[in-house]
Amino acid sequence: MTTQAYEYETQRLDHLGIVAGICQRINLIKLIDGSLPSPMERKVSCGQATQAMVLNALGLTGRALYLMPEYMENKPVDLLIGAG
């Protein structure tokens, strides 16, 4: 009998999971990306950036947008916003 070791990692969602779920339900990213041209050289679409700003604004932190990388540092961005 062999024992398998599993490695787990946790990340804080807080209330942002609910907000991200609502954004997904209303297709926020697709609505915005469908309304704006999207140059190929972008790493993040306008819709993803908008959803990130919504999450930041509802994050109850009062942080300025230039601090967004620090705010999202310990968040599961791929789950909240999507790959990009």
Q: Where are the domains of the chain?
A: 16-74
Give the confidence band of 60 by pLDDT, cuts at 50, 70, 90: low
Return the closest-CA partner of residue 80 out of 27, 14, 16.
16
Cα 53 to Cα 65: distance, rounded to the nearest angstrom: 8
Answer yes or no: is pLDDT of 57 > 90.
no
- Looking at the chain, the whole-number percentage of residues with pLDDT higher than 90 is 19
CB 13 within 8 A of CB 76: yes
Return the closest-CA partner of residue 80 out of 17, 10, 15, 14.
17
Helix (H) or strand (E) holding 57: helix 46-57
Least confident of 15-29, 33-47, 57-71: 57-71
Least confident of 22-26, 27-31, 79-83: 79-83
